[in-house]
Structure 1
Amino acid sequence: MEEAAQASLSTPILLTISAIAIAALLLLIIKIRLHPFFALVIVSLFTALATPIPVSELLSTLLDAFGSTLGSVALLIGFGAVLGRVVAVTGGARVLSDTLIERFGRERATFGLAVACLLFGFPIFLDAAFVVMLPIIYSLARELRMSLLTLGMAASGAFLMMHALVPPHPGPVAAAVFLEADVGLVLLLALVVGLPTWYVAGYHLAMLVSKRQPFHDVPDLMGNDSADERDSLPAFGTVMLVLLLPLVLIFIHTGLSTLIETGVLPEGNLLLQLLMLIGQTPIAMLISTCVAIYLLLLRGAGSEAMDNINDVIDKALAPVCSIILITGAGGMFGGVLIASGIGDALAASLDALGMPLLVAGYVIAAALRIAQGSATVAGTTAASLMAPAVIGADIDAIQNAAIVVAIGAGAIGYSHVNDSGFWLVGRFLNVETSTMLKTWTIISTGISLMAFALCWLVYSVV
């Protein structure tokens, strides 16, 4: 009886529950100043109680969403934190920051960082790319005496755009598959739309909104650069090898996955499976961290090297435990919103409005993003809902690709407290929730709206 009553909740009631939950979360974190981990868990619990999730399945729903998020980010954050601390304490981050300053000048070093992040974010997911680039962001902020928030948001704008629009990231690839679009054409159009979007909304807007916030110092999450205490700095090539290795390994995985999915390469080949295994993000980060430890700490060191390495690892892991838990709790909150049917109810109601295909794809993806947090889930779900209408429509290949990119644009915008990436970036930058809403949320929304406008222009012209 109870489950039947819960299952009969209407779409307006579900959406009201979602709005109340988000408002309560903001109240607890911003006004009451409750720790985000506790706030997220408490609100997730009460949201689950208020929605159609059966009470008998409530705890498993919470734990499954929490564990799923941790499974994807805990190893990544842990290995990334160790890699970052190794690069930082050995002077590698200073080598790279000095190189950026030398190549671009002190006034343009932030732009140089954003360009590097743009390239680095092509094959690697936002969270992994952000964690790997953190030591350079930290070092640049110290060297330039610039607010960490400004540099962090300039980097985030590049990662947001690449993650949202450009294959081989999962959202645009899944959307292209569902809508039977040409992946190569989607990639080309994503770059045509994405590069000006990044320059205006991902870089200049990021600089504008972040500079309006108070100055943010660099936290001691990855250690202070102790290069002055070392006999010599690591070679630039060695540091680049350490940082580009995960990029190369992950690119191998994504490239092979795309070729196998499109039928260019056969499934089941053992060598291909092994190459794809080492390119999985956690394995790639493990390999890269071990290589960094050897090249930057162990090679040429004395008998006390292992004690030094273990000390570096301990000091790297301790500060990020809170970040891991908060990120997992953010995933829990988003998981509850997905399991409750809030996202599906919203998507179904929007799908029935009869909007133009490109507008409908964007609006559904954006609404799902707002409702449940995950950009990949939002883009994939919106594409699956739009597939019958798009495949049966009288549109050409470019218009089809424009709809795919527009769905990605909707899926990346409007990021807020139910997005695990919101918490990951905010905690590593040591930024309060209210400040993240005034910066990260605005940047993601700006990227979303400008990319959609350009997609609409392409769709209308061709």
Structure 2
Amino acid sequence: MLANFPLLLALLAIVSLLICIIYLRIHAFIALILISALTAVFGGVTIDNIVPTMMQGFGSTLASVALLVGLGAMIGKILEVTGGAQVLADSLINRFGISRAPFALGIASLLFGFPIFFDAGLIVMLPVILSVAARFKGSVLLYALPAAGAFAVMHALVPPHPGPVVAADLLGADIGNLLFWGVLVSLPTWYFGSYLFARWIAPRFDVPLPSLFSASHNDASAPNDTHLSESLPPLGQVLSILLLPLLLIFLNTGISTYLVAYSIENKSTLLMVLQTIGQTPIALLITLLICLLLFLPKLGKQKLHDLCNDALAPICAIILVTGAGGMFGGVLRATGIGDALSNALSDTGMPIIVAAFVIAASLRIAQGSATVALTTTAALVAPMLATQAQLSQADLCFIVIAIAGGASVLSHFNDSGFWLVSRLFGMDEKTTLRTWTPMVTLIGLFAFLFAGVLSLVF
């Protein structure tokens, strides 16, 4: 039994996954379930709790991913078939030029990523990314990584996303100050860690366009039935569809941030209704319904029904594999690996900002969840601050950013986001490890570097 050696257990589990998926070519869904079960057995989980532990990790991941992917895929399918995604792609290209199309996608994703979560933002932007990539050929990574990296940066570093908000609350950092410093750090972090990396790595990996929404993406000379009408939707209509979930989610996160900042516990009925409307699944559902109404005269009831049905078939593998990745991460957490790492790293004698980064990075690598790593590290670091000299609000914000940077590094098999990116962009596991994993690691390192430099100056 390896229950008394959780760090060794985690290492053996990850190595076993690598062998099963890359060398034995076992399907990722099967491998993740098998290794999760074995990890639970050797990690000391009682026999009667093995399956419930696995299902808890699987179910909690599906609860946060399945609705978003399903609703987002329907919206994306309609935009792709009606030409809406192509309209926005053409507009971006006309304004920024062909050579700066990846930069334009990244900037748009940074703006979209301010209030919207990583997975939801990526799903909404996916048809636009694919449309731009289809027009210019080449590796899809040149266009996908800057956008995905932008959502990852904003999700990790900038309020009102839950990780930095919770960490700020635990450490006593002011949300307004964290918003300022988070945005300031996120821009160069994205540029160096995501955009420049994407331009360097994309020519080295020829990743073709996935056929997630339509096989027509794979053929720029596809017949004219790609778009069912000769008249493309106006740019304003397309933007309204893409911006609607953004505004609704911003409404929810803005209200939540306001309530936390002013410690308001008794919410009015109106605030609760507005927060519910701004929950990501409801926001996407409202957007889908409006999208259906807008295109009903053009496509008709039956065609819209068929498009929604067609959108769901390709995403089943994405949802199941992502859920299995959440299962693996949940099993690792249940074995106590987080507590083991916390005890080993909490009293290292390192500077507080360095210790915060190292602890968060270790927890992230071991159990997969960036949010768990971020919030757990903040809870561990909070008592350490009591032994420090008086820290300014800026210092507290830099510590939060350092924690967020550590919680972003080395996304791999135990991270559901790894599987989501892998499946959405049609990459195998080895390619994802060699592209997505180093990119998010660079993002985490640059965030920590910029926070450390700023802490020496301010």
Alignment TM-score, normalising by the size of structure 2: 0.95
Q: Does residue 1:298 correspond to 2:275, yes or no?
A: no
> How far off its partner does 1:223 sit?
5.8
Question: Counterpart of 1:325 in structure 2: which amino acid?
Answer: L
Note if contact 2:325-2:419 (Cα within 8 Å) is conserved in structure 1. yes
The counterpart of 1:174, out of the listed 166, 169, 175, is: 166
**Separation in 2 of the partners of 1:334 and 1:220?**
26
Residue 79 (structure 1) aligns with: 71
> How far off its partner does 1:460 sit?
2.1
> How far off its partner does 1:110 sit?
1.2
Between 36-45 and 388-397, report the one with greater CA deviation: 388-397
> How far off its partner does 1:224 sit?
3.4
The counterpart of 1:126, out of the listed 118, 125, 131, is: 118
Between 187-196 and 310-319, report the one with greater CA deviation: 187-196
**Separation in 1 of the partners of 2:262 and 2:64?**
27
Q: Does residue 1:326 correspond to 2:321, yes or no?
A: yes
Residue 414 (structure 2) aligns with: 418
**Separation in 1 of the partners of 2:213 and 2:330?**
28
The counterpart of 1:313, out of the listed 296, 308, 311, is: 308
**Separation in 2 of the partners of 1:355 and 1:93?**
49
Note if contact 2:80-2:213 (Cα within 8 Å) is conserved in structure 1. no
Structure 2's unaligned 5+ residue stretches are 218-224
Residue 50 (structure 1) aligns with: 42
**Separation in 1 of the partners of 2:346 and 2:375?**
15
Residue 346 (structure 2) aligns with: 351
> How far off its partner does 1:228 sit?
4.8
Note if contact 2:138-2:206 (Cα within 8 Å) is conserved in structure 1. no
**Residues 346-382 of structure 1: CA deviation (Å, up to 9, x unaligned):** 1221102222110111111100100111111110000
Note if contact 1:89-1:224 (Cα within 8 Å) is conserved in structure 2. no
**Separation in 2 of the partners of 1:140 and 1:77?**
21
**Residues 365-417 of structure 1: CA deviation (Å, up to 9, x unaligned):** 10010011111111000000111112442122111111011001111111111
**Separation in 2 of the partners of 1:199 and 1:222?**
31
2:315 is paired with a residue of what secondary structure?
helix
Correspondences of 1:211-360 after superposition (within 5 Å): 211-222=203-214, 224=216, 226=225, 228-263=227-262, 267-295=266-294, 297-299=295-297, 305-360=300-355
**Separation in 2 of the partners of 1:222 and 1:300?**
19
1:299 is paired with a residue of what secondary structure?
helix
Note if contact 2:212-2:315 (Cα within 8 Å) is conserved in structure 1. no
> How far off its partner does 1:189 sit?
1.1
Correspondences of 1:11-50 after superposition (within 5 Å): 13-50=5-42
Question: Counterpart of 2:374 in structure 1: which amino acid?
Answer: G
> How far off its partner does 1:196 sit?
0.8
1:175 is paired with a residue of what secondary structure?
helix
> How far off its partner does 1:264 sit?
6.8
User: RMSD of the alignment, in Å?
Assistant: 1.5
Note if contact 1:350-1:364 (Cα within 8 Å) is conserved in structure 2. yes
Note if contact 1:390-1:400 (Cα within 8 Å) is conserved in structure 2. no
Q: Does residue 1:383 correspond to 2:383, yes or no?
A: no
Residue 150 (structure 1) aligns with: 142
1:443 is paired with a residue of what secondary structure?
helix
**Separation in 2 of the partners of 1:46 and 1:264?**
44
Note if contact 1:379-1:408 (Cα within 8 Å) is conserved in structure 2. yes
**Residues 301-360 of structure 1: CA deviation (Å, up to 9, x unaligned):** 5xxx22111110110001101110001000000000111101221122110222211011
**Separation in 2 of the partners of 1:220 and 1:381?**
36
Alignment TM-score, normalising by the size of structure 1: 0.95
Residue 104 (structure 1) aligns with: 96
**Separation in 2 of the partners of 1:457 and 1:413?**
19
Residue 136 (structure 1) aligns with: 128
1:231 is paired with a residue of what secondary structure?
coil
Question: Counterpart of 2:70 in structure 1: which amino acid?
Answer: G
> How far off its partner does 1:118 sit?
0.8
Residue 205 (structure 1) aligns with: 197
> How far off its partner does 1:15 sit?
0.7
Structure 1's unaligned 5+ residue stretches are none
> How far off its partner does 1:459 sit?
1.6
**Separation in 1 of the partners of 2:52 and 2:227?**
51
**Residues 102-133 of structure 1: CA deviation (Å, up to 9, x unaligned):** 00111111111111011111111110000010
**Separation in 1 of the partners of 2:357 and 2:326?**
23
> How far off its partner does 1:425 sit?
0.9
**Separation in 2 of the partners of 1:79 and 1:228?**
21
Residue 397 (structure 2) aligns with: 401
Question: Counterpart of 1:298 in structure 2: which amino acid?
Answer: L
**Residues 50-91 of structure 1: CA deviation (Å, up to 9, x unaligned):** 102222211100011111111111111100110100110000
Residue 117 (structure 1) aligns with: 109
The counterpart of 2:455, out of the listed 416, 435, 459, is: 459
Note if contact 1:85-1:223 (Cα within 8 Å) is conserved in structure 2. no
Question: Counterpart of 1:117 in structure 2: which amino acid?
Answer: S
Between 193-202 and 126-135, report the one with greater CA deviation: 193-202
**Separation in 2 of the partners of 1:321 and 1:260?**
37
